[in-house]
């Protein structure tokens, strides 16, 4: 009798186990063998670079000498040193590809894939790309992570995309004989968008014809820290919008530029600049702010310096309107309208001079140390009172005064 009970209990337990296995399979605890529309890897594929060659363990990675091609969507991590190695994601990959750099050093990374492309920098990792025409190229790409990437000895651009180029986080150092970050589509004017949402960027690009940041369509800076040590033009886009971030920019030509790169001879097109926030310091050999259209200043802490004392700070074909934020402008300053109080006066200063602005009672309103010689200064903030006289002085002993006014200059 006991043996029969034991046998019955065993059969019940076996039935329960089989049922649970079936349920687990249906819930996805077991790998389902199907027929996906596109191959993909289900785990992170590690790729190790060394002097001995490229070490990988996935059929989705095809090695050809000093280059390898990724042929399936998924996640890949690259580490090690391979100075002549080039990495490519095949054009027929249409789903998401994430490549993580984890202390990797090689020549070039090329996302020909048309799906979502992500380049991630592993936490605390130090990575580098060097020696090619372009460090990173892509149809579209999002840059993220908590590591660093140095791109150097590139002839055309540090990072290039034909559609959308987005920086979310990470630390980037780019030294390019051409441009820094470049988003441009050869035929589609609505493509070629560059967005900075975060991260730290330090860029040195060509001082003859290169731009530190270039977008054929929309260039938007929302956050992050950008330092341009050298460039012909600092930020260029058809529509340039600065909402935030810390932007310290130096250029031999123009600084902030709104230009329609698709404009044909005889056509008319507006290109606009909107500055709504951020800390923006621009020192330029020519106009610090140039728009083939309108310029709108609504916010931010803005310092615009023209290296030539008689150079126009704002150059535009439409209008230039000041409604908010703060402004220090060294150079000839002409605005269409100013609904916020503005001071403007002739004042001689030398490189390194500090300009101090005080009210009639002697209270300091603002001060600024100039990196260049100047002969005129404009200042605006919500701290000025309409109709009051303010006094300006330099550490080299020059003085001026101006009345706070609104309206057309």
Residue 3: its pLDDT value, please? Answer: 40
Candidate from 18-32, 238-252, 279-293, 334-348 with smallest mean pLDDT: 18-32
Residue 148 pLDDT > 70 = yes
Residue 136 pLDDT > 60 = yes
pLDDT band at 407; cut points 50, 70, 90: confident
Residue 19 pLDDT > 70 = no
Of the segments 5-14, 36-45, 63-72, which one has the largest average pLDDT value? 63-72
Contact indicator for 133, 110 with CB cutoff of 8 Å: no
Residue 219 pLDDT > 60 = yes
pLDDT band at 179; cut points 50, 70, 90: very high
Long-range contacts of 208-212 (CB under 8 A, 24+ apart): 208/232, 208/252, 209/178, 210/176, 210/177, 210/178, 210/179, 210/180, 211/179, 211/180, 211/182, 211/235, 211/236, 211/257, 212/179, 212/180, 212/181, 212/249, 212/251
Mean pLDDT for the chain overall = 90
Q: Estimate to the nearest angstrom the gap between the alpha carbon of 324 and the chain centroid.
A: 24
Residue 253 pLDDT > 70 = yes
Angle at 152 between CA 146 and CA 155, to 5 degrees: 130
Mean pLDDT of all residues in 18-41: 43
Contact indicator for 69, 62 with CB cutoff of 8 Å: yes
Three-state SS letters, the chain: CHHHHHHHHHHHHHHHHHHHHHHHHHHCCCCCCCCCCCCECCCCEEEEEECCEEECCCCCEEEECCEEEECCEEEEEEEEEEEEEEEEECCCCCCCEEEEEEEEEEEEEEECCCCCEEEEECCCCEEEEECCCEEEEECCEEEEECCEEEEEEECCEEEEECCEEEECCCEEEEEECCEEEEECCCCCCCCCEEEECCCEEEEECCCCCCEEEEEEEEEEECCCEEEEEECCEEEEEEEEEECCCEEEEEECCCCEEECCCCCCCCCCCCCEEEECCCEEEEEECCCCEEECCCEEECCCEEEEEECCCCCECEEECCCEEECCCEEEEECECCCCEECCCEEEEEEEECCCCEEEEECCCCCEEEEEECCCCEEEEEEECCCCCCCCEEEEEECCCCEEEEECECCCC
Contact indicator for 230, 253 with CB cutoff of 8 Å: no
pLDDT band at 124; cut points 50, 70, 90: very high
State the Cα–Cα distance between residues 76 and 111, nearest whole angstrom: 13
Residue 38: its pLDDT value, please? Answer: 58
Mean pLDDT of all residues in 351-375: 96
pLDDT band at 126; cut points 50, 70, 90: very high
pLDDT band at 408; cut points 50, 70, 90: low
- Whose tokens are 């000041």? That residue is 322
- Is this prediction's pTM over 0.75? yes
Mean pLDDT of all residues in 336-343: 96
Candidate from 35-44, 139-148, 225-234 with smallest mean pLDDT: 35-44
pLDDT band at 351; cut points 50, 70, 90: very high
Residue 247 pLDDT > 50 = yes
Q: Estimate to the nearest angstrom the gap between the alpha carbon of 273 and the chain centroid.
A: 16
Higher pLDDT: 306 or 3? It is 306
pLDDT over 90, % of the chain: 82
Residue 2: its pLDDT value, please? Answer: 42
pLDDT band at 270; cut points 50, 70, 90: confident
pLDDT, tens digit (0-9, with 9 covering 90-100), for 159-169:
999 999 999 99
Residue 28: its pLDDT value, please? Answer: 36
pLDDT band at 399; cut points 50, 70, 90: very high
Closest among 275, 288, 289, 303 to 368, alpha carbons compared: 303
Mean pLDDT of all residues in 294-323: 96
Residues 6 or more apart in contact with residue 133 via CB below 8 angstroms? 108, 154, 155, 156
């Amino acid at each position: 009798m006991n043996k029969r009970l034991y046998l019955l209990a065993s059969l019940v337990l076996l039935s329960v186990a089989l049922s649970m296995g079936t349920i687990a399979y249906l819930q996805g605890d077991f790998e389902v063998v199907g027929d996906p529309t596109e191959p993909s890897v289900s785990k992170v594929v590690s790729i190790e670079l060394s002097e001995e060659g490229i070490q990988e363990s996935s059929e989705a990675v095809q090695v050809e000498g000093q280059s390898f091609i990724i042929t399936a969507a998924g996640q890949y991590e690259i580490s090690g040193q391979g100075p002549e190695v080039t990495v490519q994601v095949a054009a027929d990959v249409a789903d998401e590809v994430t490549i993580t750099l984890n202390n990797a050093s090689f020549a070039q990374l090329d996302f020909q894939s048309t799906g979502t492309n992500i380049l991630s920098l592993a936490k605390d990792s130090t990575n580098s790309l060097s020696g090619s025409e372009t460090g990173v190229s892509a149809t579209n790409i999002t840059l993220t992570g908590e590591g660093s990437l140095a791109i150097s000895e590139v002839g055309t651009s540090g990072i290039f995309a034909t559609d959308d180029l987005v920086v979310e986080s990470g630390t980037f150092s780019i030294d390019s004989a051409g441009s820094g970050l470049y988003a441009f589509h050869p035929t589609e004017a609505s493509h070629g968008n560059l967005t900075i949402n975060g991260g730290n960027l330090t860029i040195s690009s060509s001082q003859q014809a290169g731009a530190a940041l270039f977008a054929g369509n929309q260039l938007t800076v929302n956050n992050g820290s950008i330092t341009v040590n050298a460039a012909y033009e600092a930020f260029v886009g058809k529509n340039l919008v600065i909402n935030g971030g810390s932007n310290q920019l130096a250029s031999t030509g123009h600084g902030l530029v709104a230009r329609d790169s698709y404009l044909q001879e005889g056509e008319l097109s507006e290109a606009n600049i909107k500055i709504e926030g951020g800390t923006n310091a621009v020192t330029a050999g020519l106009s610090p702010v140039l728009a083939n259209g309108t310029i709108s200043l609504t916010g931010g802490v803005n310092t615009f310096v023209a290296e030539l004392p008689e150079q126009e700070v704002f150059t535009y074909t439409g209008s230039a309107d000041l409604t908010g934020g703060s402004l220090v402008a060294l150079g000839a300053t002409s605005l269409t309208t100013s609904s916020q109080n503005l001071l403007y006066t002739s004042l001689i200063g030398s490189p390194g001079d500090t300009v101090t602005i005080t009210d009639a009672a002697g209270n300091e309103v603002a001060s600024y140390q100039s990196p260049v010689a100047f002969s005129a200064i404009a200042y605006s903030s919500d701290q000025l009172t309409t109709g009051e006289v303010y006094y300006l002085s330099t550490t080299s002993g020059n003085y001026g005064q101006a009345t706070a006014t609104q309206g057309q200059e």
